[in-house]
C-alpha cells in the first residue's frame, strides 16, 4: 500500500532520467578527452611541448569534471528538496 499513490513511479522516473543524463555527460566528457589526447599526440611538436599540452589539457579536463560533478550534486540536492516539499504538502 502506497502512502502517496504514484509517488514511487514519479521518483523512479526522475532518478532514471538523472542516471541517463549522467551517463551521457560522462560519455561525452570521455570522448572529448580521448579526442584531445589523440590530437595532441599526433601533433608534430617537440616532446616537451607535447607533455605541456597534455598536462594543460588534463588539468582543464579535471576542472571541468569537478564542475560537472558539483552541478550534478546540486541538481540532485535541489530535486531532493523539491520531492520532500511535495511530500510534506501532500501529507
- Band (pLDDT 50/70/90 cuts) for residue 91 is low
Give the pLDDT confidence score for residue 1 in this predicted structure. 46
pTM for the predicted model, two decimal places:
0.46
| Range of lowest pLDDT (12-16, 48-52, 72-76, 79-83) | 12-16
Task: Please check whether residue 60 lies inside any domain of the structure.
Answer: yes
Number of domains in the chain: 1
Whether residue 86 is contained in a domain is answered as yes
CA contacts within 13 A on the Cβ side of 87: 14
- Domain coverage including residue 64: 46-91
Residue 76 CB neighbour total at 10 angstroms: 14
Dist CA 87 CA 91 (whole Å): 6
- Of 42, 36, 31, 29, nearest in space to 56 by CA: 36
Amino acid at each position: 500500500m502506497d502512502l502517496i499513490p504514484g509517488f514511487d513511479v514519479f521518483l523512479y522516473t526522475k532518478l532514471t532520467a538523472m542516471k541517463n543524463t549522467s551517463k551521457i555527460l560522462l560519455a561525452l566528457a570521455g570522448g572529448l578527452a580521448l579526442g584531445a589526447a589523440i590530437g595532441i599526440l599526433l601533433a608534430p611538436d617537440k616532446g616537451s611541448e607535447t607533455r605541456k599540452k597534455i598536462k594543460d589539457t588534463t588539468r582543464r579536463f579535471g576542472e571541468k569534471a569537478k564542475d560537472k560533478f558539483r552541478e550534478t550534486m546540486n541538481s540532485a540536492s535541489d530535486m531532493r528538496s523539491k520531492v520532500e516539499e511535495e511530500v510534506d504538502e501532500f501529507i
